[in-house]
Structure 1
């Protein structure tokens, strides 16, 4: 049995916090790896999952934070599928089952051994105030390119019956962020997960004092309508002044990548698309269908407008009928440069005879 599998069963939270306090960080900035986050919708439950498809998608990143893991067997099957798909070894860490009553989930990290190494500090958050239904799980990893490090936490915020059920956990993420800064000193911090609330909501204001979301446009939840996405609930957060060399970030449009419609993708893969960030000289391969949604921090708006007009509207001169796309539309960055027709507003696009693309949220 691999060391990482043994760790997943026997790690002690209090011991790990002491260890991460006493052992100094080796370097500051992780580089030249692709980091991802993905809610794989009840991974390990039932027999509908296509592990070859999951592996084809997950192999596009080097380190993946996974939410909604139902059994460790699910993440073990994914690891085996990744090794078969890529022809190289992978490893994983998994938390214990977290949740209230009879419904529980696990978190996991899975990584390509040639690019990433587990460093230290795998621990479930000690939520003394009991804010979280499923307490976040975190660990520190090292890039094998240059031995640089990053600490990444992952969480699946409770959905509940209404938005007010989610906001207490979102508010508490600011305290969790500060806790991570203490547990992983002198190390870049990343928070990835399914937050069940768009980053523009006011409940994020406490965390925004310290961190910023990488993806601020587009959507990551698959609807049953082909090509249609809704809700930017998934995200990756980094320090406001992070030293991570982020060259790209966005959403992997996996149904297009594997050639499946949304209905089949939701049934056999997930109802969420994974998010990614590319560090240093790393990048997604050219064959990966993605929605690049990285906006440099100096150009990000603290409160994006609801109609997406904080950036230029793009018409597609090659579409019939004439269609326009807001920055939050899945096909915004897929329009060939030669076919882009810029408009200052939605109203201007409509006045020119364009109409909103059907796959826009």
Structure 2
């Protein structure tokens, strides 16, 4: 009888795994990620990201040093127990001082790339740093990440973000997930059109930019980074931010890594999604 119950349990577990696909996704603005980052700093970034399955990075240096440093990061991740692959975008079609690259990294044992990633061209004249998209699959469940870094708050990033409402119509067969540094909080009205069609932020009220110095224990400033998922297609099992600066003696040292902290979510791709 015990053996029979054990077999039934194994079958149930296998059936659940067929119905549910869980992927841990992270987004991180790595602030001028390029040749100025030391080997120790790249290794620290790898330690922060090692437990995720897919990572979207913003603010990769547009020059050769940016691509080279992402390659070093992928190599560092590969030395931590799992095989990773990566893609780096071409420089965005921006002014010389605003242009940058995006990057995706993923565990090859967990997800598969479906096709070549691309910089979104439909609104290249309206969006300074056009988003970088990649389509991936896990256990037959496909999803498309829309990696984005908005213009600074003083330049009104909502003027760019308002065009995101058109992307679900342009890619009706893609399960879109918007993620990155939006330079406005998720509560901003510019996200209302996406929210009306089912998109939700994975974190609310979570500040993600770092102050120059902690003031009375408060080290974070603004709620800019997030991940927006379609609640009709996915469920968030868990989410949060990584307070990596706590590994450093002060904020000045921590900000050599970045002035943003990573945001992450574990998404559940349910049957029928």
Scaled to the shorter chain, the TM-score interval is 0.7 to 0.9
**Residue 82 of structure 1 corresponds to which residue in structure 2?**
77
The 2-side partners of 1:271 and 1:116 are apart by 29
Kept after mapping to 2: 8 A contact 1:31/1:244: no
Runs of 4+ in 1 over 6 A off after TM superposition: none
Kept after mapping to 2: 8 A contact 1:30/1:147: no
Go from structure 1 to structure 2 and tell me whether the alpha carbon gap of 1:119 and 1:197 turns closer, same or farther (over 3 Å shift). same
Q: Paired residues, what number?
A: 241
Instruction: Specify the SS of the correspondent of 1:225.
Output: strand
**Residue 231 of structure 1 corresponds to which residue in structure 2?**
222
**Residue 113 of structure 1 corresponds to which residue in structure 2?**
108
**Residue 122 of structure 1 corresponds to which residue in structure 2?**
117
Deviation for aligned residue 1:205: 2.4
**Residue 210 of structure 2 corresponds to which residue in structure 1?**
222
Moved more, 41-50 or 150-159: 41-50
Kept after mapping to 2: 8 A contact 1:188/1:242: no
Kept after mapping to 2: 8 A contact 1:223/1:262: yes
CA deviation vs aligned residue, 1:57-109 (integer Å, no higher than 9, x gap): 0112110011111121121111011112x133210011100142322101111
Instruction: Specify the SS of the correspondent of 2:136.
Output: strand
The 1-side partners of 2:51 and 2:220 are apart by 21
Deviation for aligned residue 1:280: 3.8
Go from structure 1 to structure 2 and tell me whether the alpha carbon gap of 1:125 and 1:81 turns closer, same or farther (over 3 Å shift). same
Deviation for aligned residue 1:249: 1.2
2:188 is aligned with 1:201: yes
Go from structure 1 to structure 2 and tell me whether the alpha carbon gap of 1:176 and 1:30 turns closer, same or farther (over 3 Å shift). farther
Unaligned runs of 5+ in 2: 1-18
Deviation for aligned residue 1:149: 2.0
Go from structure 1 to structure 2 and tell me whether the alpha carbon gap of 1:125 and 1:206 turns closer, same or farther (over 3 Å shift). same
Alignment of 1:1-361 (within 5 A): 31-48=21-38, 50-70=41-61, 71-84=66-79, 86-103=80-97, 104-128=99-123, 130-143=125-138, 146-159=139-152, 162=154, 165-179=156-170, 181-182=171-172, 185=173, 187-210=174-197, 211-226=199-214, 228-239=219-230, 241-256=231-246, 258-267=247-256, 269-280=257-268
CA deviation vs aligned residue, 1:136-195 (integer Å, no higher than 9, x gap): 11111122xx332211111100116x25x322102111123432x33xx1x422000100
Unaligned runs of 5+ in 1: 1-28, 282-361
The 1-side partners of 2:235 and 2:123 are apart by 34
Go from structure 1 to structure 2 and tell me whether the alpha carbon gap of 1:217 and 1:45 turns closer, same or farther (over 3 Å shift). same
Deviation for aligned residue 1:255: 2.2
Give the TM-score normalised by structure 2: 0.81
The 2-side partners of 1:54 and 1:129 are apart by 30
Give the TM-score normalised by structure 1: 0.62
How big is the alpha-carbon RMSD for the aligned residues of Structure 1 and Structure 2? 2.2
Larger-Rg structure: 1
Deviation for aligned residue 1:202: 2.1
The 2-side partners of 1:222 and 1:101 are apart by 26
